Every structure is written in C-alpha cells, then in structure tokens.
C-alpha cells in the first residue's frame, strides 16, 4: 500500500493530524509504526467506545499499523472511577476486551497493555520523573482536562500525577502515533513538547472527533472552540448523555426520541453527528428515509450531504430522522448485544460491571 493511501485512510476519521508531514515521514521510515489508544475501565461501554473506536482501529490495522490497546487501570483508580475500587476497575477492563471482540476486533492482532504491568518497570518511573521535571505546575494543571476535570477543580495530589503518567506511557511503550480523541489533545501536545526538550522520539498525534452526548450542543456555543465542546461529549459515566452497546431497540428508540434535535438545525444536533461519524460508512451512497405516504412517502437522498440539505430546508422532519437513526443504531449495536447474550463469560463480566457504583 502506498504512503498517500495510508495517510488518506487516517484522514478519513481524523479531526486533526499533528502533523501530516511528520506522519508522511513516519510511514516513509517505518512500514509498521506503533499506535495506541487508552481507556479508563470505568463502566458500561457507550457507542463511541464500541462502534467508533472499533472502526478507527480496523482502518489503522488495514494500513499496517501495529496497535496497542491500553487499559489504564491505575488512571481510573486515581480518577476515582468505580469508587476507586481496583478490583472492580480491572474487572471492567476485562469487560472492555470483550466489547472489542463483540465489535469485530481480532484481539490476536493487537497488543492489550495494562497500566499495572508497565508500571512495574523502574524505567517507567525514571521517565515519569523526567516528564515532571520538564513540565511546570501550571502546564500540568491545564492538562487535567484529559481526565474529565476542569482547571479549578479540587484535586488530590495523585490526580496531578495523571497527565505526567499519560505522557510517560507514550514514551515507555515506544509509541510512534497517538490515536486518541480530541479531549486527549493536551496530553499529546505535552508529550511532543517533552520529546523536544530531551531529544526523545516525538509522537505524531491523530485525534478523532468527539461523539456528542444526546443533549447535543445548544445554539450559541462556539463550535470551533475545541475545549468548550468537550463538555458536550458522550460519557459512559452519564447515562443521560449516552447510548450503550447493550441498549435494546426499545431503549435506543426512547433515547433517540428524547435527543436534542431542533427542526432544520444540523449544527450541534447529535443525530447528524452519529450519522456522520459512526452510522454511515460511505457518505456518497444513496439514503432512503422510510415514512408513511400521508407524510409524503419515503424521502430519497442521493448522499449524506443531500440528506443534510433536506433537513435544513424542512423536507425531513425530526421524528422521521429519529426513526432512521434509531434503526441504524440497532443495526450496528445488535451484533455486539447478541455476542454478550451468547457468551456466558462475557455476559457475566457485563453483569458484574453493571452492578458497580459509577463515580467520577
């Protein structure tokens, strides 16, 4: 596969690449660079964890990238997820692995890494000390947004370690390419700064778009403000914002029907966000919205862009859009839901995690 095709594949899901020229040089020098994405095991998997992350991972594997899926158990502990219970957190990590399998990820083709394992190495803490030495307290505090906190929040001393640990992970695992969501941008930029100071390998950052919560983004919010948009992302710890990989069709329909979806408004509308990022693999394919004849019969759109215009002009009603999105979600969630229904061990992990107290 030629380099431009590889870059195009990553650009198909990236909101930004820092930098594209560095990515090109990386592929020129290394046919199989190492990438990673990291996760706090902290609850039931929503659609961005299962559907979006799985699709991105498959695309990266298709261009020869070696991938590490990082289960950040100690990070979840520091961040007080699942009440800071490490046993519960690690059980949730095992459940996450089953979610990836349920979404079609061949886990034999990726390396699953636990934070508890790499932190046993004294070299990890040597790197951690170097990262801390190269970073001001103010810079570290600004980076706490990566853990779902805000500047000014009351933090434990341990939580202040979090950004430096995440940066240390990148160097300790030998990562060439950080493939995480936009909310993790500050950690990746900090890693690039530290790399420059010490002459360490500087990672390329490929940040994917954030999936909106069901509450959407109200009109008046600056949608070019990357930091502001983090507040409106889907969160597994907020049931009101999320559609989960185990939701039944009735639950999906109920949540979608209650989602923010103002008539003729596309910007900030989570349903278009789901169609764009997850549900429509090929935006150029024709789309049929089924509706009763008394409401004009089926609406035919030649592409996703045409569907957007139909909504903006009022040709497509919010309720018809909601029915279409709910059906597409069911189509993609159902196989994962059935995997857990058929696999007794996976189902037990799900039941265990479902019973845990969700904290943040």
Domain-ending residue, one of 157, 190, 208: 208
Phi, psi of 180 (to 5 degrees): -135, 175
Q: How confident is the model at residue 112 (pLDDT cuts 50, 70, 90)?
A: very high
Which is higher by pLDDT, 68 or 1? 68
d(CA 2, CA 27): 9
- If asked whether residues 92 and 204 sit together in one domain, one would say yes
Residue 101 forms part of a structural domain: yes
Nearest to 215 by CA among 262, 251, 248, 178: 262
- Helix pair angle (122-133, 185-198), 10° resolution: 90
Tell me the average pLDDT across 27-47.
Answer: 95
Q: What is the pLDDT of residues 82-103, one digit of tens each?
A: 999 999 999 999 999 999 999 9
Q: How confident is the model at residue 228 (pLDDT cuts 50, 70, 90)?
A: low
Q: What is the pLDDT of residue 315?
A: 94
pLDDT at 10 over 70: yes
- If asked whether residues 159 and 251 sit together in one domain, one would say no
Tell me the average pLDDT across 221-233.
Answer: 74
Q: Which CATH number do you get for residue 333?
A: 1.10.240.10
Q: What is the pLDDT of residues 44-57, one digit of tens each?
A: 999 999 999 999 99
Phi, psi of 133 (to 5 degrees): -65, -30
Which is higher by pLDDT, 221 or 60? 60
What is this structure's pTM? 0.92
Strands (E) across the chain are located at 14-18, 34-39, 66-71, 111-114, 177-181, 204-208, 287-289, 299-301
pLDDT at 123 over 80: yes
Which is higher by pLDDT, 153 or 209? 209
- If asked whether residues 199 and 342 sit together in one domain, one would say no
| Length, in residues, of the chain | 360
Residue 215 forms part of a structural domain: no
Phi, psi of 203 (to 5 degrees): -75, 145
Rounded to whole angstroms, what are the CA distances from 236 to 146, 212, 214? 15, 12, 12
- If asked whether residues 284 and 161 sit together in one domain, one would say no
Residue 233 forms part of a structural domain: no
Which is higher by pLDDT, 149 or 352? 352
Residue 275 forms part of a structural domain: yes
For residue 187, give the H/E element and its range: helix 185-198
Tokens of 312: 């903006």
Longest CA pairwise span in the chain (Å): 70
> What SS3 class is residue 178?
strand
Q: Which CATH number do you get for residue 73?
A: 3.40.50.620
d(CA 245, CA 44): 8
- If asked whether residues 105 and 185 sit together in one domain, one would say yes
Residue 260 forms part of a structural domain: yes
Average pLDDT, the chain: 92
Q: What is the pLDDT of residue 306?
A: 96
pLDDT at 106 over 80: yes
d(CA 315, CA 312): 8
Determine the Cα angle at 229 with ends 223 and 235, to 5°. Answer: 145
Q: What is the pLDDT of residue 227?
A: 67
Q: What is the pLDDT of residue 233?
A: 87
d(CA 258, CA 322): 9
Q: What is the pLDDT of residue 330?
A: 97
Please give the tally of structural domains in the chain.
2
pLDDT at 224 over 80: no
- If asked whether residues 164 and 250 sit together in one domain, one would say no
Tell me the average pLDDT across 318-347.
Answer: 96
- If asked whether residues 12 and 65 sit together in one domain, one would say yes
Q: What is the pLDDT of residues 163-185, one digit of tens each?
A: 999 999 999 999 999 999 999 99
Residue 286 forms part of a structural domain: yes
- If asked whether residues 326 and 190 sit together in one domain, one would say no
Tokens of 62: 């298709």
Nearest to 217 by CA among 180, 255, 181, 271: 271
Determine the Cα angle at 56 with ends 266 and 240, to 5°. Answer: 50
Domain-ending residue, one of 189, 208, 227: 208
Domain-ending residue, one of 208, 226, 256: 208
- If asked whether residues 201 and 253 sit together in one domain, one would say no
Q: How confident is the model at residue 252 (pLDDT cuts 50, 70, 90)?
A: very high
> What SS3 class is residue 161?
helix
Burial zone of 347 (CB within 10 Å; 0-12 exposed, 13-18 middle, 19+ buried)? middle
Nearest to 69 by CA among 53, 82, 80, 84: 53
Nearest to 271 by CA among 219, 220, 216, 315: 216
- If asked whether residues 66 and 128 sit together in one domain, one would say yes
Phi, psi of 70 (to 5 degrees): -105, 120
d(CA 183, CA 166): 13
Rounded to whole angstroms, what are the CA distances from 97 to 40, 61, 236, 340, 348? 12, 17, 16, 12, 13
For residue 198, what are the domain limits? 3-208
- If asked whether residues 113 and 171 sit together in one domain, one would say yes
Q: What is the pLDDT of residue 23?
A: 97
- If asked whether residues 184 and 258 sit together in one domain, one would say no
Residue 229 forms part of a structural domain: no
Rounded to whole angstroms, what are the CA distances from 273 to 115, 206, 213, 219, 246? 32, 19, 10, 15, 20
Residue 132 forms part of a structural domain: yes
For the chain, state the CA radius of gyration.
21
């Amino acid at each position: 596969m030629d380099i431009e095709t590889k870059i195009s594949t990553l650009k198909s899901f990236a909101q930004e690449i820092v930098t594209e020229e560095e990515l090109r040089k990386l592929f020129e020098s290394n046919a199989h660079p190492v990438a990673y994405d990291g996760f706090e095991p902290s609850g039931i998997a929503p659609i961005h964890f299962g559907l979006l992350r799985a699709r991105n991972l498959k695309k990266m594997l298709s261009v020869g990238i070696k991938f590490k899926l990082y289960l950040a158990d100690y990070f979840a502990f520091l961040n007080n997820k699942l009440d800071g219970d490490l046993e519960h957190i690690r059980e949730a990590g095992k459940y996450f692995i089953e979610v990836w399998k349920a979404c079609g990820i061949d886990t034999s083709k990726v390396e699953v890494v636990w934070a508890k394992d790499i932190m046993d190495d004294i070299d990890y803490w040597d790197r951690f000390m170097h990262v801390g030495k190269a970073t001001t307290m103010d810079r570290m505090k600004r980076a706490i947004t990566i853990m779902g906190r805000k500047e000014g929040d009351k933090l434990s001393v341990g939580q202040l370690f979090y950004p430096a640990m995440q940066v240390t992970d990148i160097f300790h695992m030998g990562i060439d390419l950080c493939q995480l969501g936009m909310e993790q941008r500050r950690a990746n930029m900090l890693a690039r700064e530290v790399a420059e100071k010490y002459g360490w390998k500087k990672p390329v950052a490929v940040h994917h778009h954030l999936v909106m919560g069901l509450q959407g983004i109200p009109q008046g919010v600056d949608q070019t403000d990357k930091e502001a948009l983090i507040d409106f992302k889907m969160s597994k710890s907020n049931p009101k914002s999320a559609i989960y990989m185990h939701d039944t069709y009735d639950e999906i329909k109920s949540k979608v029907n209650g989602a923010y979806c103002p008539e003729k408004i596309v910007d900030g509308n989570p349903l278009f966000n789901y169609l764009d990022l997850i549900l429509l693999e090929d935006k150029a394919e024709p789309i049929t919205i089924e509706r009763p004849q008394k409401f004009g019969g089926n609406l035919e759109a030649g592409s996703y862009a045409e569907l957007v215009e139909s909504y903006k002009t009022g040709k497509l009603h919010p309720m018809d859009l909601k029915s279409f999105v709910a059906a597409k979600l069911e189509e993609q969630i159902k196989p994962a839901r059935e995997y857990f229904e058929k696999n007794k061990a996976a189902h037990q992990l799900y039941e265990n995690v479902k019973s845990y107290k969700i904290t943040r």
